[in-house]
Structure 1
C-alpha cells in the first residue's frame, strides 16, 4: 500500500513539474496566462497570445514548441481579453464549448497580474478622401502608441498617445494628443453568446457608449448580432477638448452566413446607423489567413454608399520582449473607405479593437480547418 501511495505522489509531482515546464516554455515565446490541466493521456492548455491575429498560428506555434513533450492528446483553449473563447482539438481543430469543470478550473487559476506582460502596441490611424476638386488627394496619418491593462476578468482599459505625422484633411493641429481611450468589458456568459461593452472615446471623433451582443456557434454557418449605443462628437486641438452632447443613437441588427467556399462570409445589417440614418448594408468578406478583404454597399435615408475594407497585422510584430514588458506592432489594422454621393450613409466607427463579428470570424472551426 505504501509503495502505491509513493508511486501516486511521484506521478503527481512529475505532472506538476511538466505543467510548469510547459508554462515556462510558452511564456518565454510570448504566450500569456498559460494554465495547464494534465492527465495521463491529455493536455488541456489555456493561453493568450496578443501578437497573432489568426488563432491558428498561435496554436501551431505552441505545438511546435511542445514537440518534445510525451505524446498526449492536446486540447487548446485560446483566450481573448482574459476570457476563454472555445476548445479546439490539436491537428483537427474540431471545436467544442467548455464544460463546467474546465470553466471552474480557469476561474480558479486565472491570474491577471503575474501572468501578463505590460504591452505597448504601435499602429497607424489613417484617413483619406479622394476627388475633392481643389485637393484631389487628402490624407491624415497619426502614429498611435497605446496599451491595454486588465483590471478584473474580462474588464480592461485601453489608452495611449496619438502622434500626428501628416494632415491634409482637416484643421486638427500637429501636436501629440490622447489616443482614443476606453474601458472595455468582454464576456461569454453562456456558450455561443458573446457580449462586449465599451465606454470612452473612439475613432471617427466619437465618444460615448458602445454595446455589442452576438450569438455565434463557432461550428455553424449562421450567426446573429446586435450593435447599439449612444455617442456624441468630440474634438481635441491645441490642448483643448470640445465635446457635444451624447445625442446620436444607433442600433443595428445583422445576420451573417458562412458560405464555406473560399472562406467567404455574407453579412446583412439593418437598422439605424451612426448618423441616425435608417437603412441596410450588405458586406461580403474574404478571409485569407492573416488578411481580410471586404466589399460593401449600403442604402439609407442619407443616400447610397459603397466601398471596401481591409484588416491585416502590421509588420514586424514583436519588437522587444522580456518577462514584464512587450513592445509590438498591432495584430490588426483595419481601414475602411466608402464613397457617398451626399452625406455619409450606413456608416459605423472603430472602437480601438475588433468588433465581435470580425473577431469571432477568426475562431470559426471551418476557417481554422481550411488551412489543413
Structure 2
C-alpha cells in the first residue's frame, strides 16, 4: 500500500486564477496494488487526483502468458470536481464515471509499445485512442491520436523523461532530495480544449513508470548496460 502526498509551490503564473499563486496540495491519495490469479494486476486508488478531480480509480492489466508481447488492460473511475484554495478543499457532490478498455503490443527489438483503447471521458463522450511510444532508459517518447463522438479528431506527441542526476548515494540517515524521475508533457496538436478530458490518479501514473516493470524492457537495459 502506498500513501502519496504532494505540495505545489507556484513559481510563475501565466494568466491562471489567483488561487494558483498560493501554495497548495496536489496529489493526495492511498493506493493498493495486488497480483491476482492468471497474471492479473490490479490497483485501487482513493484520493485527490490531477485535473482537479477526487474519488476512486481502479486499473486492471493482464499480460498474456504464452506471448508476453500482448496484453489487455482496463480502467474505471468515479470522480467529482475538487480544487484547493491554499489548504482548503472545495469539492462538488456531482460524480462522473469514466472508463477505458483496450489492448497493447510491445515490440521488444525497438522497445516500441502500441496501445489501442476505447474510452469514456469526463464529459461523457466516448472515443478511441491510439498511442505509439518508444521507450528509452531515461525517457519515453511517442505520438497519440484520438477521435470521439461529437468532437473533431485530435492528437499530438507526448514524452516522459527522468531528470538528472540518475544515481544517488545515501549518507547515513540524511534525507535525499531528488528531481522527478517522470517529468511529462503531452502536446495537443489539435488545440482541443473542451473534449477528451481525463485525469491521473498519482504522479507515477504515466507511460514511463508503467513500462518500468516490463520484462522485455528490463532485459534490453541489462544487455546494453
TM-score relative to the length of structure 2 = 0.85
Are 1:165 and 2:11 counterparts? yes
Q: CA deviation at 1:319?
A: 8.0
Q: CA deviation at 1:273?
A: 2.1
Could you tell me how far apart the structure 2 residues matched to 1:321 and 1:199 are?
34
Could you tell me how far apart the structure 1 residues matched to 2:64 and 2:171 are?
35
Q: Is the 8 Å Cα contact of residues 212 and 226 (structure 1) preserved in structure 2?
A: yes
Could you tell me how far apart the structure 2 residues matched to 1:357 and 1:160 are?
20
1:1-372 residue pairs with structure 2 within 5 A? 155-171=1-17, 172-190=19-37, 192-217=39-64, 220-301=68-149, 302-317=151-166, 318=168, 321-323=171-173, 325-355=175-205, 358-371=208-221, 372=223
Could you tell me how far apart the structure 1 residues matched to 2:206 and 2:84 are?
28
Residue-pair matches, total: 218
Could you tell me how far apart the structure 2 residues matched to 1:319 and 1:163 are?
27
Spell out, residue by residue over 1:3-39, the C-alpha distance to the aligned partner (whole angstroms, 9 max, x if none).
xxxxxxxxxxxxxxxxxxxxxxxxxxxxxxxxxxxxx
Could you tell me how far apart the structure 1 residues matched to 2:80 and 2:74 are?
20
Q: CA deviation at 1:342?
A: 4.7
Q: 1:321 to 1:184 in 2, by over 3 A?
A: farther
Q: 1:169 to 1:303 in 2, by over 3 A?
A: farther
Q: 1:347 to 1:322 in 2, by over 3 A?
A: farther
Over aligned residues, Cα RMSD in angstroms? 2.4
Q: CA deviation at 1:164?
A: 0.6
Q: 1:183 to 1:308 in 2, by over 3 A?
A: same
Range with bigger deviation, 230-239 or 177-186: 230-239
Q: CA deviation at 1:240?
A: 3.9
TM-score relative to the length of structure 1 = 0.53
Q: CA deviation at 1:365?
A: 2.6
Could you tell me how far apart the structure 2 residues matched to 1:210 and 1:321 are?
37
Q: 1:238 to 1:360 in 2, by over 3 A?
A: closer
Could you tell me how far apart the structure 2 residues matched to 1:170 and 1:274 are?
21
- Asked which structure has the greater CA Rg, the reply is 1
Q: CA deviation at 1:361?
A: 2.3
Structure 2 unaligned segments of length 5 or more: list them: none
Could you tell me how far apart the structure 2 residues matched to 1:320 and 1:328 are?
12
Q: CA deviation at 1:217?
A: 4.5
